[in-house]
Amino acid sequence: MACGVWCAVMSVTDELRKLESYFEDEDQKEQKGLGGRSVVELYENVQHAGNIIPRLYLLITVASVYIKSKRAPAKDILFDLVELCRYATQTPISSPAADR
């Protein structure tokens, strides 16, 4: 039984929830001194992801955790996200097949 795009969207959504939970766990470990990474560090790291679409998904996911942590104004975090979305719409996405 093929479920098409809807199943793909639901599957991605489920995986992003798991990733969000992972980011929360890492931040809690760091706060307790158990070797995790802070949400601030995670937020900074995902901004260096190579491709724009994965970077958007990662940044939106970690930004939700960052906003909940209240370590930075939500307005500043959302501004970063809007800027990245603007960049993504202005920059064409190239694939290896397009380079041939």
Contacts of 84 (CB under 8 A, 6+ apart): 55, 56, 59
Which amino acid is located at 67 in the chain? I
Taking a C-beta distance cutoff of 8 angstroms, is the pair 58, 22 a contact?
A: no
The pLDDT of residue 84: 84
pLDDT given at position 91: 62
Q: Which residues of the chain have pLDDT under 70?
A: 1-2, 91-100
Return the pLDDT at 63.
94
The whole-number pLDDT of residue 34 equals 93
Q: pLDDT value at position 48? A: 85
Predicted local confidence at residue 2, as pLDDT = 66
Neighbours of 36 (CB within 10 A): 18
In tens, the pLDDT along 67-89 reads 999 999 999 999 988 988 887 77
Burial of 37 (0-12, 13-18, 19+ CB in 10 A): middle
* Verdict on whether the full-model pTM lies above 0.85: no
